[in-house]
Amino acid sequence: MAHIDRRKFLALTGTLAAGAALAACSSPGSSSSGEAASGDASTINFWSNHPGKSQAFEQELIARFQAENPDLTVNLIDGGKNYEEVSQKFNAALSGNDVPDVVVLSDVWWFNYALTGAIEPLDGHFEAAGVDSSDYVDSLLADYNWNGNHWALPYARSTPLFYYNKAVWAQAGLPDRGPATWQEFDEWGPRIQAVVGGGKLAHGWGNAVDYLGWTFEGPIWTFGGAYSDGFDLKFDDEKTIAAGQFLKDMIHTKKYAAVSSDIANDFGAGIIASTIASTGDLSTITQNASFEFGTAFLPSADGQPGCPTGGAGLAIPSKISEERKVNALKFIDFVTNGANTAYFSQNTGYMPVRKSAQEDPSEIAFLDANPNARTAVDQLAKTRSQDYARVFVPGGDKIIGTGLEQIALQNADVATAFAGVQEQLQQIIDRQITPNLPS
């Protein structure tokens, strides 16, 4: 398949067939009827999964907003335990009029709703809501750009980090840092395993539910492979297969790693000596770990970035009234302003999404006192946009994660498992995406 430039693809004005919107879900509704959903414009319903266990911090942000906007009321509504459940609930709501004013959408969900017109292009409302989009971190804001508009604004944005147990590292005679490359870590793994002993492991990977397709994307790149180049799938590339073989060997041959169903808690409990987890897990790990730990950039190789961005933004349904849209955007702008994104970042581990946050005195002091949190901010310049196969192909993340689980949990042949992943993704691309690409 010919390579499709990301900017050209994102400039498409056509929409995908309804079935492309959500794999295994009913097709999202849209505002094409022109009929606005009912709702009180003075009440903002905010649907969130409370990323990074942030419910209390979201409530604090809401209290700050209402103190400055006493004519507006914000209801924090539990949209589900993770991004997938929020998206499913939002998708179901689109068939009726009971939709939120603001909804959390992750990196793998917003684009589907933009394509179907279910969420609002925001730029036309910036002036009315008082939004200065230039204050958002450029790369994070650009992630939501399509067809000349931004369809969400950055909120709980993250990268994976390498977390390691400093005491174990010292016992193994390792330098106090993360591995420079995955090949170096492969040398360290058996030494770490000898220190932690039976019942524990040198390294833990998250499962498919814990976004294995995201955390293993960086290692794939450092081996010279990829999930895709545009929509040209690369699971049959020998370098991609080599990365998958590395995953298999560290688990089944060298036996110093495994898949965990809860990497943040397992690391905090000392069951695994290192892991790749979100910056959003930093606060939880800091609270739970009884030992000193460090964070580091993900390993890279020969100038190849080994870390993708991720996380979620805040979007507004297109079918609510214009007044509701403006009030919703005022809320989004407020909770992500310099001071508030600094507060949210300091308490959750997510990245501050505004440039002005870097000048906030509390943020400067916090990063000076918390080098583990600084890692994510410093690593941002060395990240890479995610492959289409994971974020633009409906259901891609789950398909990729399940394929990696087959290798990690079932000791499946790498080439065979990846061939199955490629076949599933190619069918979706051929049926739902290729017919809508420009000739």
Tokens for 174, please give them: 């390792």
Tokens of 108: 């793998």
pLDDT per residue of the chain (439 residues) written in tens, 0 to 9: 334 344 344 444 333 333 333 443 434 344 434 456 768 899 999 999 999 889 999 999 999 999 999 999 999 999 999 999 999 999 999 999 899 999 999 998 998 898 788 999 999 999 999 999 999 998 899 889 887 899 999 999 999 999 999 999 999 999 999 999 999 999 999 999 999 999 999 999 999 888 899 999 999 999 999 999 989 999 999 999 999 999 999 999 999 999 999 999 999 999 999 999 998 888 889 999 999 999 999 999 877 789 998 999 999 999 999 999 999 999 999 999 999 999 999 998 899 999 999 899 999 999 999 999 999 999 988 888 889 899 888 899 999 999 999 999 999 999 999 999 999 999 999 998 888 664 5
The two structure tokens encoding residue 353 = 């999404």
pTM: 0.82
> CA 173 to CA 151: how far, in whole Å?
49
Per-residue burial over 200-217, b if 16 or more Cβ lie within 10 Å, else e, is bbbbbbbbbebbbbbbbb
Q: For residue 419, give both structure tokens.
A: 């061939």
Please name the amino acid found at residue 245: Q
From CA 267, how far away is CA 286, in angstroms rounded? Answer: 10
Three-state DSSP at 425 gives: helix
Question: Which residues pair with residue 203 across a beta bridge?
Answer: 257
The DSSP code for 25 is S
Please choose, from the candidates 135, 123, 17, 79, the residue with its C-alpha nearest in 3D space to the C-alpha of residue 312. Answer: 79
Calculate helix-pair angle for 414-428, 238-248, nearest 10 degrees. 130
Q: What is the DSSP string of 202-271?
A: SEEEE-TTTTHHHHTHHHHHHTT--SEETTEE-TTSHHHHHHHHHHHIIIIIS--EEEES-HHHHHHTTS
Query: What is the per-residue DSSP string for 76-119?
Result: EEE--SSHHHHHHHHHHHTTSS---SEEEEETTTHHHHHHTT-B
